[in-house]
Amino acid sequence: MGTDSGDGQAQADRAFFAAAEQVLVAGVSASARINPALGRAVLVERGDGPYMIAPGGTKILDFHGGFGASFLGHNHPEIRAGVEAALDMGMVLGPETEHPRRLAEKIVELVPGAELVRYSNSGSEATMSAIRLARAHTGRKKILKFEGHFHGLHELVNFSTHPDPKEPVPGELIKPTIDSEGIPEEFAEFTLVAPWRDLAAVENAFARYPDEIAAVIVEPVNYNSGCLVAEKSYMAAVQQVVGDNGALLIYDEILSGFRTGTDCAQGYYGVTPDVTVLGKAVAGGMPLSVVAGKRGVMETFSPLGGAAHSGTYTGHLLGIMAAIAVLEEITQPGFYDGPDGIMAMAGKLYSGLRDIFARSGIHCRVQGLGARFGMYFGLDPEVEVKEYHVAATHDHALLSRFVSSCFAQGVYFHSYEMALGHHGFGGAHTPAVMEEALARIESACAAM
């Protein structure tokens, strides 16, 4: 059933990537295209709903979803219609059309922290702009982030996203670790790192650096470490500390946006941040990210304020029209709370995985919130994982075996070289698809 079942196709895949290595770095268009558990990237021809279609026609059930971007599934007809409408308009750049306003009105309606909106193209670009906005608005330089939280690949935040696991000292900040060569260590002067779910450490940061911290940036659900969910009381307390000290609270909802409902993770927690960053799911696979926030903060962007923000492709119609289609779909009755909605499918999948692992004798803790989840192989299935330093002790070799075995059964999970990573599903994963997936996964676990 899996894509490696035919020796001829496997040889053709190898030949393709060998040729690609002559013109693409490592034979891929981005490093994360490579799935370390498989030792290569996966070659597909197209996608359709919950499936990716490999050369030769093999259908692969997708629980990666384009790093979380393909929230409604591949080749969704309404997203396709939106993109075609953008093409019909000539993809005009420079002047405004009515459509960025239409999308912004919908975002303001749905997302609690959104009063004004600006667009960008990627998550990294959006968090970079949000941090610049916070610095300009407060007149301060430092930011505070959390260990294990990922906010993009730029120099302002590429610290301590996947460090070696080490239990932090309660109430103390963590020395930042640089995640990439080529980032000068001087950037760490402006980036503070705290343990997740340690309020005393956040308070300590403001006590040590009074009037220096511009913003606290956080993944409200730490999906990049699998799925670490904080207590609602903790998130409210962080907001209080940040506000009391004159800083801004930035919710990086690139991954968490729209996974639990139209009001995103901030709606789940009941916390309204000063600035919200959206991406991935918002445009269903088209390149679009959003910086939204309180009116008084957002007016710090040019031309009303001094924080520069623009770009040739900012607010590109392809992403705008796709996002309008996405938001129209996810606001339909029952999309989240119906009998076949996102929350029901989440319960079916996560309980099904737990049962399969228990029957197979595989130690794995499954944690999910809404349409995104983590699997912690080697950890106690009955004990919630709450901190990064615990999550990072998962059995990566066992995860790799699972991913490889599932792929042989035609189910795709993605693994990462260093980070724990995340998995997910979306609107195309119907009850029948979930049943098919769980059956294939059970066969994969039996083969392990």
Share of the chain above pLDDT 90, in %: 94
Topology of domain 7-63+336-447, CATH: Aspartate Aminotransferase, domain 1 (3.90.1150)
Task: Tell me: pLDDT of 2 over 80.
Answer: no
Which residues of the chain form CATH 3.90.1150.10?
Answer: 7-63+336-447
CA distance 216 to 238: 9
Closest CA to 410 of 56, 76, 31: 56
For residue 281 the two structure tokens come to: 């799911």
Residue-wise pLDDT tens digits, 325-351: 999 999 999 999 999 999 999 999 999
For residue 385 the two structure tokens come to: 């994982």
Residue-wise pLDDT tens digits, 110-154: 999 999 999 999 999 999 999 999 999 999 999 999 999 999 999
CATH class held by domain 77-330: alpha beta
The 10 Å Cβ neighbour count of residue 375 is 26
Task: Tell me: pLDDT of 35 over 70.
Answer: yes
For residue 407 the two structure tokens come to: 């792929």
Residue 50: asked if its preceding bond is cis (omega within 30°), the reply is no
Task: Tell me: pLDDT of 4 over 60.
Answer: no
User: Looking at the DSSP assignment, which residues form a beta bridge with residue 35?
Assistant: 40
Residue 108 burial by Cβ neighbours in a 10 Å radius (0-12, 13-18, 19+): middle
Residue 279: per-residue pLDDT: 97
Closest CA to 201 of 154, 160, 162: 160
> How confident is the model over 347-357, as a mean pLDDT?
98
Amino acid in position 170: P
Distance of CA 334 to the CA centre of its chain: 23
Task: Tell me: pLDDT of 1 over 60.
Answer: no
- The number of residues in the chain equals 448
Concatenating the DSSP letter of every residue in 351-409 gives HHHHHHHHHHT--EEEEEETTEEEEEETS-TTS---SHHHHTTS-HHHHHHHHHHHHHT
Residue-wise pLDDT tens digits, 250-308: 999 999 999 999 999 999 999 999 999 999 999 999 999 999 999 999 999 999 999 99
Residue 7: per-residue pLDDT: 63
Which residues of the chain form CATH 3.40.640.10?
Answer: 77-330
Residue-wise pLDDT tens digits, 145-189: 999 999 999 999 999 999 999 999 999 999 999 999 999 999 999
CA distance 99 to 113: 21
